[in-house]
Amino acid sequence: MAEAKGKVAVLSGDGIGPEVMEATLRVAEAVETSHGFKLEWKKGLVGGAAIDAKGKALPDETVELCKSSTAVLFGSVGGPKWESLPPNEQPERAALLPLRKIFGLFANLRPAVLYPELTGCSPLRPERVAGGFDVLIVRELTGGLYFGQPKETVKKGSGERAVDTMAYETHEIERVTEVAFRAAEERKKRVTLVDKANVLESSLLWRKTVKALAAKYPGISLDFIYVDNAAMQLVRDPGRFDVLLCENLFGDILSDEAAAVAGSLGMLPSASLGQGRFGLYEPSGGSAPDIAGKGIANPIAQILSLALMLDMSFGQRAAAESIRAAVAGAIREGWRTADIASPGEKSQGTREMAGEIARRIASGSGKR
Ligand code: IPM
Ligand code: MN
């Protein structure tokens, strides 16, 4: 077996996080063996689990573990147990947002893919999603209303005044736009900038900056859409889009919409990237406390996040492709967890689904 080429911080978190992570690590083992490489997997605490054990959602030792790693494989955080904490201490906000900021993860890739065999899972009418679709949302992740200053609540008269700031600088727009153009080069070569340029100053700067950068990518077609229209088009004809480039909040909202239209949150991975190879990879769905511990959660979002990680942080493209092919093969041959089973159809558990995917990789049927 080849030497260890890097270290992965494994942060399972809460809810279904630990069980889908355990299942995913079996797939990781299968792909390491079949592709002849070995990574070092190191577990750390995050989210509610970290609050319970260490008193905070992102303990210093977890940050240190991530700093010493090439990538973070993240599960999901949050749950009813921690919902009564002050908003700033809740797992989602106190773990995810600082991780994005500390590691400069400015580009968030959220593919929303509807497999042709699963069009029945989409809430859209069959004729709108016939043949499935494949849309990539590239969301700016460290700017805009999430982090812009001022951000505060002050007393005003007999009440209060709260402000969030949507501010962007040219360089912040440029770096995420490069990510979107490069992604489009490997896809259908179309980028759509989502903005609100009829109202927002920051959107005018987005348009100007993205247009100027487009000159560097003559093979890519670029168009623009207002965010309200984009929300509408995503439910009318999601297949018309290739890459949707969004500022932070627009991307947050539209990626949930795209995920819903794609049928199940349990299928969608994501990658958060910065300047170098380091990245954080996580399922797009949440911790799903309602089904946690039952062994029925769909592990595919986590498994496809593993594939993204191997591809983007470790350059193991063939391994990533073999995971994707194994997932597609399992789906094609009727393997279903409860979230993607038709009514009355038999479904498999988390472990069984991951086991089938690992088996396909090991037997080489995961290779294209
Ligand atoms: C997401 C989540 C987070 C966000 C929350 C939990 C802070 O909704 O990753 O999309 O808004 O970015
Ligand atoms: Mn969100």
Catalytic residue among 14, 195, 252, 311: 252
Report how far residue 93's alpha carbon sits from residue 181's, in angstroms, rounded to the nearest whole number: 29
Question: Which value, to the nearest 10 degrees, does the dihedral of the CA atoms of residues 181, 275, 72, 167 take?
Answer: -80
d(CA 5, CA 71): 12
199-233 pLDDT tens trace: 999 999 999 999 999 999 999 999 999 999 999 99
Retrieve residue 243's tokens.
């890459």
The Cα 355–Cα 2 span in angstroms is: 24
* Strand ranges (E), the chain: 4-13, 38-43, 71-76, 107-114, 133-140, 152-156, 159-163, 190-195, 221-226, 243-246, 269-273, 279-283
| Residue of 82, 88, 252, 268 best suited for mutating to test ligand 1, as the one with most atoms within 8 Å of CB | 252
Share of the chain above pLDDT 90, in %: 95
Give the rounded distance of the alpha carbon of 351 from its chain centre.
22
Catalytic-role residue among 42, 43, 189, 256: 256
Same fold, 1-108+263-368 and 123-261: yes
pLDDT of residue 1: 47
Evaluate whether 331 touches 289 at the Cβ level (below 8 Å): no
The average pLDDT across 163-180 equals 98
Q: Please tell me the predicted confidence (pLDDT) of residue 352.
A: 98
Q: What is the pLDDT of residue 247?
A: 98
What are the tens digits of pLDDT across the range 16-56?
999 999 999 999 999 999 999 999 999 999 999 999 999 99
Q: Which CATH number fits domain 1-108+263-368: 3.40.47.10, 3.30.1330.100, 3.40.718.10, 2.40.10.10?
A: 3.40.718.10
Is there a catalytic annotation at residue 252? yes
Q: What is the separation of C-alpha 303 from the centre of its chain, rounded to a whole number of angstroms?
A: 12
Is residue 368 predicted with pLDDT exceeding 90?
A: no
CATH architecture, domain 123-261: 3-Layer(aba) Sandwich (3.40)
Q: Output the average pLDDT for the chain.
A: 96
Backbone angles phi, psi at 181, to 5 degrees: -65, -45
Report domain extents, the chain.
1-108+263-368, 123-261
Nearest to 50 by CA among 65, 39, 69: 65
**Residue of the CA atom closest to atom 4 of ligand 1:** 252
Label residues 12-36 b or e (16+ Cβ within 10 Å = b). Answer: bbbbbbbbbbbbbbbbbebbbebbe
How large is the average pLDDT for residues 299-306?
Answer: 98
pLDDT digits (tens, 9 = 90+) for 234-278: 999 999 999 999 999 999 999 999 999 999 889 999 999 999 999
For 211, the enclosing helix (H) or strand (E) is: helix 201-214
